[in-house]
A and B are shown apart, each in its own frame.
Chain A
Amino acid sequence: MSAAATAPAAQATRPVLEVRGLVKHYPGAKALDGVDFDVRPGEVHCLIGPNGAGKSTLIKCVSGIVEPTAGEVLVSGEPLPVGEPSASLDRGVATIYQELDLVEDLRVYESIFLGHEPRRGLLLDRARMREEARKLLERLDHPNIPVDAKVGTLRPAAQQVVSIARALSHDARLLIMDEPSAILDAGEVDTLFDVVRRLTAEGVGVIYISHRLDEVPRIGDRVTVLSDGRTVASGLPADTPRDTLVEKMVGRRVEQLFPERPVPRDEVVLEVEGLCRAPDVKPISFQVRAGEVLGIGGLVGAGRTELLRLIYGLDKPDAGEVRVDGRRLQPGRPGASIAAGLGFAPEDRKSQGLLLDWNLTRNVSLADLGRYTRHVLLDRAAERRDAAEQLRELRTVPDDPDRIVRELSGGNQQKVVLARWLLRECRVLLLDEPTRGVDVGAKTEIYRVITDLAKAGLAVVVVSSEMSELVGLCSRILVMREGELVAEVDGASATELELLRHAVAPTDSDPVLEENA
């Protein structure tokens, strides 16, 4: 295929992937800020780091989907053409994404050759596809997967093997696996590891991304830690002690980012009792007081967002109830929750929180239009005036109420969402990842706003994947793991290390998920 393939001697010594000084800036945020690491042929290189550390951006740069702002990506010593995913495929870089990107209705052999089907004349060469699919699966030690089965009928682990076979069908020399174990149970993870070992025995280099630190020594040769877009440790041996890795992940201390912690009052505003919805949220109970900032920590997929959605009424719980000021909320009715004083800033502002093509006024007033209805028609002057006032108080930039929300930075868009609930004079604010995609300066602003609101008597619930944020901001922190509340920690004395320990699965002989959710 290329020079490297015909010169195995050179390939053996040269890394299959070299990343040097990689930087990627998005408008208003630095996703990557200096990444260096390399992957040798036949090696499993683990990549770990907290959420938002830049792992996905790194993958996108390596697989040619996004163009780096600066730095180099060398595949077998050659620079990767930017912005051309097919070019990296041609060079033997294949990626298996966290959400399996297989078409469920296609058959196994069709999935493996999707996009590069062997043909005879104008027609697909089905016989050859079947035959080669069988060979690939055999190579992966899974000849038992029927090549004619529809992908949707296979178990997740088998689907993953199909994904890997697809990567192999491109003659992959570098395989990037993004949290492949996240959807597998313990036995399936063992199977996955066997497949990975077979690949490395053939000389394929593997980047293995995982949240589960316990997997690092089991499968990895080396490990690189990414934090805040930088490689804080590159190419450590995989048997580096777990606590050392966690400390590296937590990284530099955040200085003076957080205002003084508000003091909760006595009065309980929000009560959650036995709220659950299978399979994401097991029965959960807690209370939040006026003036309190309650944090909910945990890993992605621990059920935090799902819990907020249940409280707010976006999903119907299987059981349990929510009370605001002692009054029970109607389940599954966001309108009723809002009337009772709840406000919700969803994780994905752009797709869930805002109407991006609307101006600021309309976005702010959307939940409170009743207030501006005079004899059927809207009093638009009052609407605009009040929205402007809320935006000004939150120091939104720009605070021109006629501007289109799409033009604002992430932090200011978040303020627009907050302004909506302040206009509504809500009593409880549920914030899901309030600073995601927001740069450091704007984060400080949002922390200040949250603290001010709590001081003014609101009860605030903050879900965050950034442990430092919870430790710096919250009066009290709950930790969720696999749909359950596993710990309650006092915010003033909590450490990130402690939260992370609660959030990851306990270290025992089989450290992977105990059960398949």
Chain B
Amino acid sequence: MSTAPEAAAPQRSSSSRLPKNTRGAIQEYALVGVVAVILIAGAIIEPGSFLTSDNMLNVLRQASVVGVIAIGMTFVIATGGIDLSVGSMVAAASVVGGQFADSGSAMFVLGALGMGILLGSVNAGAIAYGKVVPFIATLAMFTMARGLALWISDKQPKSIFDLEFVRWFGNGEVIGIPSAAVVFVAVTIIGWLLLNRTRYGRYVVAVGGNREAARIAGINVPRIVFSVYVLAGLCVGIAAVLLSGRLSSASPIVGNLYELDAIAAVVIGGTSLAGGRATIVGTFLGVITFALIFNLLTLMDLAVEIQQVTKGLIILAAVLIQRRER
């Protein structure tokens, strides 16, 4: 927390009409501080290789797949739900896209998005109308989607090297910026607008904050709950396109533990697991924080196991800070 005040001060003065409340906002700024500290530390530890534009763009590209998923996850968690199935769903969406690979890139994209939305809708139906607890419903989908991916693909990755448009999403550039990063930033901006500037976003947070009050205010609660899991599925579809493009293949074994990465980013960003408080900027910064640390530790040649321990410590610290603010 010691980094918060310094980080918060310039932000606050720039926006005088900021609501005095939002703990989420405070945490966003705390994360700005964390990101700054990592950048400075990285520049000192690995001069010449960490804080370079090439490396930073690389970080953004690496962050993009989980990042897009985390934006969708933010909406789910805002309602007080959770989606454990996103990692498996990425594989299923990728594989289904691969089934249409012979018909061209557009069909691949449609297939991947369609599968993401379809599986998301199954989650959504079970949770919103079947009244299954989100943890259980998406745990079931976690195993089902992985099974489907392996089954449909016959356990074999399929090369999509010919699909240049899909590969462009993974490896291409737009005026020097990785296209995957552009997609991630675009999804973040749309997510931010949706959450903060539309009626729909207001309803999502209201449902998470107080379901009964939302219902009494006339909000169709099951419909909102349904929609966030479909949205998560759509984000999974987009992530599947980015990932397949980068790997130049549609593989049934990708996406392992993506759900944990996404949830961790959302939570350290300041969105409350209990629902009712959500921040897209926080999620974005959470994703970037993890990507920077991963990148720095890799540059330092530290082993994967040390990276895992570090990641765990960060999650724990972030949640403890949230506790204390409460």
Q: Interface residues, chain A, CB within 8 Å of chain B?
A: 312, 314, 334-335, 337-339, 344, 346, 351-359, 362, 366-367, 369-370, 372-373, 376-378, 380, 402, 404, 420
Contact = CB atoms under 8 A, between A and B. Distances in A.
Contact of A358 (B17, B197, B209, B212): B209
B277 A357 contact: yes
Contacts of B155: none
B212 A362 contact: no
B220 A402 contact: no
A404 B219 contact: no
Given A380-B197, A402-B17, 4 more contacts: A353-B213, A358-B209, A377-B198, A378-B199
Contact of B212 (A337, A351, A376): A351
A380 B202 CA distance: 12
B216 A357 contact: no
The 9 closest A-B pairs by CB, nearest first: A338-B218, A369-B199, A335-B218, A367-B217, A366-B217, A355-B209, A377-B197, A352-B212, A404-B21
Contacts of B219: 335, 366
Contacts of B199: 369-370, 372-373, 378
B276 interface: yes
Contacts of B216: 312, 314, 334, 344, 346, 352-353
A334 B220 CA distance: 8
A246 B218 CA distance: 41
Nearest to A407: B21
B20 interface: yes
Contacts of A357: 21, 209, 276-277
B236 interface: no
Interface string B268-306: 000000001100000000000000000000000000000
B48 interface: no
Interface of B: 17, 19-21, 193, 197-199, 202-203, 206, 209-210, 212-220, 276-277
B202 A354 contact: no
Contact of B210 (A355, A367, A420): A355
A38 to B, nearest CB: 42
Contact of B215 (A334, A362, A404): A334
Given A366-B206, A369-B199, A378-B198, A402 B276 contact: no
A337 B210 CA distance: 20
Contacts of A334: 215-216, 218
Nearest to B212: A352
Contact of A378 (B197, B206, B215): B197
A372 B216 CA distance: 20
A121 B219 CA distance: 55
Contacts of A312: 216
29 contacts: A312-B216, A314-B216, A334-B215, A335-B218, A335-B220, A338-B217, A344-B216, A351-B212, A352-B213, A353-B216, A354-B210, A355-B206, A355-B209, A355-B210, A356-B210, A357-B277, A359-B19, A359-B21, A362-B202, A366-B202, A366-B206, A366-B219, A373-B198, A376-B198, A377-B193, A377-B197, A402-B17, A404-B20, A404-B21
Given A369-B202, A373-B198, A378-B202, A355 B220 contact: no
A57 B198 CA distance: 43
Contact of B19 (A339, A353, A367, A402): A402
A162 B199 CA distance: 51
Nearest to A400: B20
Residue in B193, B210, B212 with the greatest tally of chain A CB atoms within 10 Å: B210
A366 B205 CA distance: 11
A354 B213 contact: yes
A354 B209 CA distance: 9
Contacts of A335: 218-220
A354 B276 CA distance: 12
Contacts of B203: 369
Nearest to A356: B210
A344 B203 CA distance: 18
B131 to A, nearest CB: 16
Contacts of A346: 212, 216
A188 to B, nearest CB: 32
A338 B210 CA distance: 18
Nearest to A354: B213
A473 to B, nearest CB: 23
Nearest to A371: B199
B237 to A, nearest CB: 22
Contacts of B193: 377
Nearest to B194: A376
Max chain A C-beta neighbours (<10 A), residue from B21, B197, B209: B21
A356 B193 CA distance: 23
Contacts of B220: 335
A378 B194 CA distance: 10
Contacts of B206: 355, 366
Contacts of A358: 209
B217 A420 contact: yes
Contacts of A354: 210, 213
Contacts of B21: 357, 359, 404
A344 B197 CA distance: 26
A362 B213 CA distance: 13
Contact of A367 (B198, B209, B218): B218
A414 to B, nearest CB: 14
A339 B220 CA distance: 13
Contacts of B276: 355, 357
B218 A314 contact: no
A347 to B, nearest CB: 11
Nearest to B17: A402
A372 B193 CA distance: 15
Contacts of A338: 217-218
Contacts of A378: 197-199, 202
B151 to A, nearest CB: 40
Contacts of A402: 17, 19-20
A369 B203 CA distance: 9
Contacts of B214: 355, 366
Contacts of A314: 215-216
Contact of A355 (B17, B197, B213, B215): B213
A420 B219 CA distance: 14
Contacts of A380: 197
A463 B217 CA distance: 19
A411 B21 CA distance: 21
Contacts of A372: 199
A262 to B, nearest CB: 26
Contacts of A420: 217
- Max count, chain A CB within 10 A of own CB: residue among B203, B214, B218, B220: B218
A338 B215 CA distance: 11
